[in-house]
Amino acid sequence: MNALSFLLSLAYLGLAFLAPNPLSHLFGLVALGVTAFLRLVPHWRTLNLALLTLAFTVGLMRSGNTLGLIGLVGILVALTTLSRIPGWIRVLLGLAILLLSVPLAGFANTFVFELGIQIGIYAAMALGLNVVVGMAGLLDLGYAAFFAVGAYTWAIFGSEQAKNFMQGNFPLPGEYMYLFMGIAIVTTALTGLLIGLPALRLRGDYLAIVTLGLGEVVRILANNLDHPINFTNGPQGITPVQRPPIDGFRELMATLGVHLDRTTDYQLFFYFLVLLMIGLVVLVNVNLANSRFGRAWVAIREDEVAARSMGIPLLPTKLLAFMTGAAFSGVMGVIFAAQRTFVSPESFTLLASITILGMVILGGMGSIPGAILGAAALTILNLDVLKTFSEFVRTSLPQIPNQVDPAKYERLVFGLILVLMMIFRPEGLIPEKRHRAEMEEA
């Protein structure tokens, strides 16, 4: 068994060199499955994971096929969830994947960067929503509203838009983006306070509907505040939004011997920026979960009445959860606006809110690695798998009407994920201990 799994991994390494194509990557995924799910001796398993990391990286560099990226995500999940792997190996392999494999793959196929950045932005947001839904048990269906507030905060001042209602020298230069990340924390936390003050007094299911309504209100405002005074430029959206200057980053990379061209420099920069943000968000999240507030949130989630009788002030505690989640989303909104250089109300629909909720549910409510996995899975599914499937349908089944294009059916996919998870595995793919207990005792 151990030898077999080792041979499979080795075989895939060979295949990745000689025949890097989607089929051989599928073989690699099988090898990864064998390594993860069969009962292996721990050090063999560790060795296999290292081999497979190398193999997927090689495969990605040589073919740029995004199946390899799924493999890398799978290895990251294995590193976080499998038992009895030495800690330093986990850290080393994880960092190698994030800092070397993905950028190397990105140079072979820039779409990998795009995916990585989107996964990162969504993962940070899923972690924010995870505080609200997973830890405090408050179902917020208007979470994209905070994302919108963050994105517009920078978009308005980082473009010519602000000239419509202010004197001043706009657009503000790109390095102000970092300042606005701080400002967005304040504006979104305040928005969270404004929305939360009325909404959080309500019972759970009413809260869901009200947040949904308020989320729509924010979108409607973004859509219509182009008159009487043009704040948001309405449905056309705002473009171009300034990006931070990256000369320093270019020099740093050049000294490391990485040659960047015009297309990859910003992608690599934003990829690293997003990684940094996720690191920070995870740090904040872990510390919060183990703090007084985190325990208070869990208490409120499990039993509001009991929590209150133990002296936990309900509204302030809930508001804090709401504002924390909002702030995470707001910061990511600023990065989103800068990375896209374009912001419009279309990005902040109910579908966006439900997508982020789906990520949290898929990964496991309250679970930090779960939220990141959920973000990776749904983003890859949405941007990559569905689109590939669409192309496949278009080329091989041309007689099918063009309205039946799989890429247009993300709602169906998300809906199925939500329903199936709730029926068969409500605690998520990587459950958090306390949640699992709660779901099982019921």
Partner 1 sequence: MLEQILALLPQVIFDGLILGFVYAMVALGYTMVYGVLELINFAHSEIFMIGAVVGVEVFRYLAPHVGNGFLLLLLALILGGVVAGITAILVERFAYRPLRKRGTTNRLVPLITAIGVSFILQDLVRLIEGLWHNEFFLRMRTVEDLEGSVSLLGGAIFAQTKSFILMGVSILMLVGLTYLVNRTKLGVAIRAVAQDLPTASLMGIDPDRIISRTFLIGGSLGGVAGVLFALQYTTITPYVGFLPGIKAFTAAVLGGIGNIPGAMLGGLVLGQLENFFGTYLPILTNGNFGTEYKDVVAFLILIFILLVRPQGLLGQVVKEKV
> Could you list the residues that contact partner 1 (CB under 8 A)?
133, 137, 139, 141, 198-199, 201-206, 208-210, 212-214, 216-217, 220-221, 223-224, 227-228, 305, 350, 354, 357, 361, 401-404, 408-409, 411-412, 414-419, 422-423, 426, 438-439, 442
Q: Measure the CA–CA gap between 134 and 362, rounded to whole angstroms.
A: 12
Integer CA distances (angstroms), 409 to 164, 405, 420, in order: 39, 7, 17
Least distance (Å) from partner 1 to the CB of residue 36? 28
Closest residue by Cα to residue 299 from 317, 276, 277, 287: 317
| Closer by beta carbon to partner 1, 204 or else 245 | 204
| Closer by beta carbon to partner 1, 255 or else 402 | 402
| Closer by beta carbon to partner 1, 178 or else 206 | 206
Q: What contacts 24+ positions apart, CB below 8 Å, involve 167-175?
A: 171/241, 171/242, 172/242, 173/242, 173/245, 174/242, 174/243, 174/244, 174/245, 174/338, 175/244, 175/245
Q: Measure the CA–CA gap between 322 and 88, rounded to whole angstroms.
A: 35
| Closer by beta carbon to partner 1, 86 or else 213 | 213
Strand-pair partners of 230: none
Q: Measure the CA–CA gap between 271 and 117, rounded to whole angstroms.
A: 5
Least distance (Å) from partner 1 to the CB of residue 401? 4
| Closer by beta carbon to partner 1, 59 or else 374 | 374
Backbone angles phi, psi at 4, to 5 degrees: -60, -50
Closest residue by Cα to residue 372 from 358, 353, 359, 385: 359
Least distance (Å) from partner 1 to the CB of residue 362? 11
Neighbour count for residue 400 (Cβ, 10 Å): 11
Least distance (Å) from partner 1 to the CB of residue 393? 12
Closest residue by Cα to residue 377 from 409, 436, 432, 417: 417
Reduce the DSSP state of residue 378 to 3 states and report it: helix
Strand-pair partners of 343: 238
| Closer by beta carbon to partner 1, 186 or else 419 | 419
| Closer by beta carbon to partner 1, 62 or else 301 | 301
| Closer by beta carbon to partner 1, 43 or else 201 | 201
Least distance (Å) from partner 1 to the CB of residue 130? 13
Integer CA distances (angstroms), 350 to 123, 142, 332, in order: 18, 7, 18
Element (H, E) at 63: helix 42-63
Least distance (Å) from partner 1 to the CB of residue 375? 17
Least distance (Å) from partner 1 to the CB of residue 131? 15
Least distance (Å) from partner 1 to the CB of residue 378? 13
| Closer by beta carbon to partner 1, 211 or else 324 | 211
Least distance (Å) from partner 1 to the CB of residue 355? 10
Least distance (Å) from partner 1 to the CB of residue 398? 13
| Closer by beta carbon to partner 1, 35 or else 216 | 216
Integer CA distances (angstroms), 225 to 213, 283, 321, 329, 370, in order: 18, 37, 29, 22, 37
HSE-CB of 93 using CA atoms within 13 angstroms: 26
The tokens describing 321, both together, are 């959860």
Backbone angles phi, psi at 343, to 5 degrees: -135, 130
